[in-house]
Amino acid sequence: MIGFGAWEAGGEQWGPNESEDVVIDAMRAAFDSGIDWIDTAEVYGQGTSERLVAKAIAGRRDDLTVATKVAPASEGTGLRPEQIRAACDGSLGRLGIEHIDLYQLHWPDETGIPVEDSWGAMTELQDAGKVRWIGVSNFDRDLIERCRAIRQVDSLQQEFSMLNREDADLIRWCGETGTGVVTYGPLAFGLLTGAISKDTTFMPGDWRGTERDGLFGNLDRSLAIVDRLRPVADRLDCTLAQLALAWNVHQPGVTSAIAGSRNAGHVRTNAEAGDLELDEPTLKELDSALDEA
């Protein structure tokens, strides 16, 4: 299952902003292509993404699942109970909806706020009917178990791709314990589309142009893996992006993958990955290619 991620819609960290109409058209292209859920957050463009999502879902609300997140201070509203309640009301207002389908803690607090206090506030929002499901993002197993002691964690949103499989065991465990997993960065922020090379120049403001760690810090390794995937994509008559997305949702524990773009054409192509079936021999072939890195 493929969903639409609205981080890029916020504009910040992705280079010069596209016009609102272009961004909204990309979201609507996703919905028209069969994608029925969208994920955003209060920190994406400091509310810009949520406001654009509101315009995109107008007239379609009943057919869509809308997810958003509250972040720790100072980037977000904060994870104290009263801050979470205020953040939820703020997101509801910007999104123009009466309830949030999935509300998530965006990443762990590092200022000493007990996760039990934050999660307790999330359960109160659920009990009040302001949110339907509650989840976390960028959490480890210990934090999830502390939340589960209070109430089931409905979902984990975690970075996971062919180029970043560090949390594979955590994701598998979540699947075994009834926590759905939404993966972000399944295209490795563009690397797995095949459109990025060693000579690629990113627009001013695009975080990928200054990244010196992680996937972009070890670009030779990342591109070598992409090259090993090309013959498989050619054989299956699909794009590299579709192959990467299909692989992602076939992994144990993964419920769905977020694919965001401000390009309507890319969105339509990504949506088609949800129909791509990978048999066991192909999955083993792909895993072997990844293990060679």
Candidates 135, 137, 179; CA nearest to 160 is: 137
Positive/negative CA dihedral, 201, 204, 205, 210: positive
Q: What is the CA radius of gyration of the chain?
A: 19
How would you label 181-217 residue by residue, b for 16+ Cβ within 10 Å and e otherwise?
Answer: bbbbbbbbbbbbbbebeeeeebeeebebeeeeeebbe
Question: Which secondary-structure segment (H or E) carries 127?
Answer: helix 115-127
Q: Dihedrals φ, ψ of 4, to 5°?
A: -100, 125
Whether 103 is catalytic is: no
What 3 state SS string does 241-258 have?
HHHHHHHHHCCCCEEEEE
Half-sphere exposure of residue 181: CA atoms within 13 angstroms, side-chain side: 30
Helix (H, G, I), strand (E, B) or coil at 289: helix
Candidates 23, 15, 12; CA nearest to 263 is: 23
For residue 36, with 0-12 CB atoms within 10 Å meaning exposed, 13-18 middle and 19 or more buried, which class applies? middle
DSSP string, 136-200: EES--HHHHHHHHTTS---EEEEE-BTTB-TTHHHHHHHHHTT-EEEEE-TTGGGGGGT---TT-
Catalytic residue of the set 14, 44, 133, 173: 44
Residues in the chain: 293
Residues designated catalytic: 44
